[in-house]
Amino acid sequence: MDKQTSETLTRTGPGTLMGSLMRRYWVPVMSSSEIAAKDGPQVRVQILGEKLLAFRDTEGKVGLISEFCSHRGVSLYFGRNEENGIRCAYHGLKFNRDGKCVDVPSAPQVCDRMGITAYPCVERGGVVWAYMGPADKQPAPPEVEWCGLPAENVFVSKRIQECNYLQAMEGGIDTAHVSYVHRYEVDTDPMHRGCKALDYIKADGNVVFTIEKNPAGLTLFGRRMGDADTYYWRVTHWLFPWFTLIPPFGDHSLAGHVWVPIDDHHCWAWSINFHPGKALSDEERGHMVEGKGIHVEYEAPGSFRPKANRDNDYGMDRTAQQEKRAYSGVFGFSAQDYSLQESMGPIQNHEAELLLPTDKAIVMARRMLVEAAEGLAKGVEPPALDASAQRVRAAGVLLARDADPVAWGRERLTDCNNHPVYSI
Ligand code: FES
Ligand SMILES: [Fe+2]
């Protein structure tokens, strides 16, 4: 990929091509639980290169405003969250959740022109989502399956990843790597072990992809050898501009990620597990809280930085690698992924990469993102703004060798609420 395309894809700050595209979709900002209490402590959060402050006001509504006071630029993190707004601790200017300045104690007559940036928010799936684009272009709230389910059916966590969002998200699109770096973990992890799919995944590392463009993004059909007359298909989705959906293993929950730029060298990796038709069991939830499956254990509570990180070589254990307990010596699905993705550098050198046939989906997703970003700059409306197109589901299924997986999927995996979960 040439330098200019790489720049287009990886730069997401205000005014950039990709940044402008991403601002046309609802952005996951933080867990609702981080600002659980009305008038509770405000929280700093950086998204798409913008330093913001989130708080829950006296009415229980979420505000997401610029971190800095319009007067002389003091951080409102040090302000007071009181009576439906944040009051700057320096000279007492006060801002409500719409960013409107509602009090200038020393000069009330200038209140109107002291407002700061604010973004509208909704809460879905236990997550605060913000819309950071032009006010007249706000789309309907997200409808990815997990964000419409009852709270007891869903577990959501997030972690900081120390690299550009693109190379992180591409790990979510590229299902070919499951047969390698995650190879041994699947047998022991409580959210993967004990299902038939693992036999097929481990026996056949040469996934053959069929890739379908759809209104929300891409559907990937990864084919591995099944039994004598079948193939094992893993059907995953990438949805504009940052969602990936992962097929379940056996009776374990479905899963997904969202890859959201913090700045160009860091991203939020959101990890979600969910059952469409039933609550997660206490045991499942317990494992997730402990950081099993696609979740992680944190370095410190509330830091959202994983305990296994670049400073400790991700806890790499050469003995475990030799003894075939961890393929790369790193334990944990997420750590296995982000250790490799961070090792590419903060932004992968795309000019030097030599892509392979299994990278086809990544190439398509890149092309779709670049086309959408460049199109938007020329006035073409972005794709996938219709939230109902996000109601797709991943699956793992054995199909007869002559079956058409695309037709099979189109019937059962779109508008997924009306269909059973397909998993082996
Ligand atoms: S800097 Fe905020 S009130 Fe003066
Ligand atoms: Fe992975």
Q: Atom 1 of ligand 1 has which residue's CA nearest to it?
A: 72
Ramachandran region, residue 211 (left: φ > 0; alpha: ψ -120 to 50; beta: rest): beta
Q: Nearest ligand, CA of residue 332?
A: 2
Take residue 5 and report the two structure tokens written for it.
Answer: 């395309």
| CA-69 nearest atom, ligand 1 | 2
Q: Nearest ligand, CA of residue 175?
A: 2
Q: For ligand 2, an ion, list residues with CB under 5 A.
A: 337
d(C-alpha 82, C-alpha 37), whole Å: 12
Which residues does residue 151 pair with via DSSP β-bridges, in sequence order?
Answer: none
Take residue 183 and report the two structure tokens written for it.
Answer: 């190879």
- List, run by run, the mean pLDDT of 10-residue segments along the chain (424 residues): 97 98 98 97 98 98 98 98 98 98 97 98 97 97 95 97 98 86 84 86 86 93 94 96 94 95 98 95 95 95 95 97 95 96 98 93 97 98 93 96 95 87 92
d(C-alpha 405, C-alpha 386), whole Å: 25
| CA-91 nearest atom, ligand 1 | 3
Instruction: Return the pLDDT at 254.
Output: 95
Take residue 114 and report the two structure tokens written for it.
Answer: 């002291």
Measured in Å, residue 76 CA sits from the centre of ligand 1 at 9
Instruction: Return the pLDDT at 147.
Output: 94
Instruction: Show the ligand 1 pocket: residues with CB < 6 angstroms.
Output: 69, 71-72, 74, 88, 90-93
Q: Atom 3 of ligand 1 has which residue's CA nearest to it?
A: 91
Instruction: Return the pLDDT at 206.
Output: 84
For residues 25 and 47, is the Cβ–Cβ distance under 8 A?
Answer: no
Instruction: Return the pLDDT at 74.
Output: 98
> Coil, helix or strand for 352?
helix
Instruction: Return the pLDDT at 183.
Output: 85
Instruction: Return the pLDDT at 215.
Output: 86
Mutational pocket test of ligand 1: of 53, 71, 95, the residue with most ligand atoms within 8 Å of the beta carbon? 71
| CA-93 nearest atom, ligand 1 | 3
Note the pTM of the prediction, 2 decimals: 0.96
